[in-house]
Chain A
Amino acid sequence: MSARPLPQLTGLAGEFYGFCKVRELRFQRCVDCSAWRHVPRERCGECGSADFRWERSSGRGRVYTWTVANRSMHPAFPSDASVAPVVVEMEEGVRLVSALENCPPGELAIGMPVEVVYEDVTETVTLPKFRRRA
């Protein structure tokens, strides 16, 4: 298998993953209209403002939808159904693609409550992941 694909740590993606590296899940929030957003954007899609802050997320959300990469379509990932991308809807309302730790695909369910954890993939890249919560 080839090297695991990683995000490019430039621009706003670099800022987002920079917070993850210090164990903080932060999303952009518009200074003018208070709308949360993800993925990161230069301007607010609600009001057009360019002013934003990286605000700390509660880290809690629920599984919004999911799939299983039963057959890999990328040389870095195995075809053994161990890769299950999920979409988590955070308490703040934003959604992000991630993966659950310690949750076999057969136990995935929409609505499952989850909380953020962090995986140091390399020395520079930390990915936010999730685990079940009560």
Chain B
Amino acid sequence: MAGGCAQVTASACIVGIGETRYARDKAWSPTTLALNLEASVRAIDDAGLRVHDIDGLMPFPGLSCAEEVAANLGISELAFTSTVHMGGASPVASLLHASLAVTSGAAKHVLLPSGWAGYSGARARQTVATDAQSVPGGAIARDYYIPYGLTAPPQWYALLARRHMAEYGTRPEQLGAVAVAMRRHAQANPNAVMRGRGMKLEDYLASPMIADPYRLLDCCLETDGGAAVVVTTEERARDLPRHPVRILAAAAGQPYPADEIVGRKDLFRIGLTSAAPRAFGQAGVRPADADFAQIYDCFTFEVLQQIEEAGFCKRGEGGSFVEGGRIELGGDLPVNTHGGLLSEAHVVGMNHVVEAVRQLRREAGERQVANAELGVVTGFGDFGDGSIVILAR
């Protein structure tokens, strides 16, 4: 294999998953730390482990830190802590690092906590606008974007979506097909915030513009929730109660330059563009082999773009790919079977990892993908950082 793709993966597994309630409920108001801790306790318990078995911690950047999580859970012997600074690409990229840690012997059981009070705490829309340090390239945004009113992620990515529409003829109805699919899947998920609130393409088209061409229903939810997973070796997984889900390959990548989003020679080349071929090559599978994909869906176009850049179709064909129910349950490639960030909850993409594990354990209930053997999860963050993991039953 080409560089940047360590052969670690055949022997790392996800052995525990944990989620909190996902909600937009003014009467709840959990703290971000409490959400991280509750999800962690559930993931450790699900793995059949005890807190003192955890010796590795990889918290999400900016939401919690290893010291705080360890002190509040009673993890007294930490051998490995690290945080990947890739925004929404961090949870999936952390699976690469956790795999390396457990297979190298740096740690035995690595806990990956995520989650935030994105509804009752600081809203997503406020973070970049008020803190130049909150993303890599924050100073560039401060000096060259924000003075013109380009202040927040939906606006950055709207620039890409608009250009894609011009170059490839991508239409609003195709972005809408992504939103409608996610919403449909949420109806089969008891923990989805948008369960019970169906949505049709007409509803999508009638929703107000937020950052042209993004409408309200192109945008992810702001919710309260936490999710966590536990990673260990395949060897240790044999002694644990749950069906282990194997990490066949994990990879991360960056666009160039990664600290700036408008000047790239190839505007559509994101981190996933280079990470996906590395991961598929290492796993020895093709995109078409996947039984489902959980694609980081901060906004609808990013789903379409990642489908293209991961190689599920050619660049420019994402619009037609997502139409006609292909990405819905029962289609060729069910995407975000839990409802995603758009209709389940915004748990920074760790909820996508949890859902993939649930599908491969065949525990997804009425939204189960029949005979699911192989699943893909992607992460997307900041100005286009990317990550991908290929999981097998």
Contacts and interface: CB of A to CB of B under 8 A. Distances in A.
Interface of A: 4-8, 13, 38-39, 45, 64-75, 77, 81, 83-85, 87, 94-99, 105, 110, 121, 125, 127
Given A67-B212, A71-B211, A97 B257 contact: no
Interface of B: 125-126, 129, 139-140, 142-152, 154-155, 158-160, 162-163, 166, 208-214, 257, 260, 262-263, 267
Contact of A67 (B144, B166, B211, B257): B211
Cβ-closest 8 pairs across A and B? A73-B152, A83-B149, A67-B158, A85-B150, A7-B143, A74-B151, A68-B212, A65-B163
A57 to B, nearest CB: 14
B142 A73 contact: no
A39 B144 contact: yes
Contact of A74 (B146, B208, B263): B146
Contacts of A67: 150, 155, 158-159, 162, 211-214
Contact of B151 (A39, A73, A110): A73
B146 A70 contact: no
A97 B262 contact: yes
Given A99-B148, A110-B162, 13 more contacts: A7-B143, A64-B163, A67-B159, A67-B214, A69-B155, A69-B211, A73-B129, A73-B154, A74-B146, A77-B149, A94-B263, A95-B263, A125-B147
Contacts of B129: 73-75
Contacts of A6: 147
Contact of B144 (A45, A83, A97, A125): A97
Contacts of A98: 148
Given A67-B155, A70-B211, A71-B211, A127 B143 contact: no
Contacts of B212: 67-68, 70, 105
A81 B149 CA distance: 11
Nearest to A4: B147
B146 A5 contact: yes
Contacts of B139: 8
A107 to B, nearest CB: 13
Nearest to A78: B149
Contacts of B208: 70-71
B152 to A, nearest CB: 4
A75 B147 CA distance: 12
B144 A65 contact: no
Contact of A85 (B148, B163, B263): B148
B145 A97 contact: yes
B143 A13 contact: yes
A65 B268 CA distance: 13
Nearest to B212: A68
9 contacts: A6-B147, A45-B257, A64-B163, A66-B159, A68-B209, A73-B151, A84-B149, A97-B148, A127-B148
A69 B163 contact: no
A38 B152 contact: no
B142 A96 contact: no
A7 to B, nearest CB: 4
A83 B214 CA distance: 15
B152 A74 contact: yes
Q: Name the residue among B126, B148, B213 with the largest chain A CB count within 10 angstroms.
A: B148
Given A87-B262, A95-B262, A95-B263, A69 B143 contact: no
B159 A73 contact: no
A105 B152 CA distance: 18
A85 B146 CA distance: 9
A69 B212 CA distance: 7
A69 B146 CA distance: 12
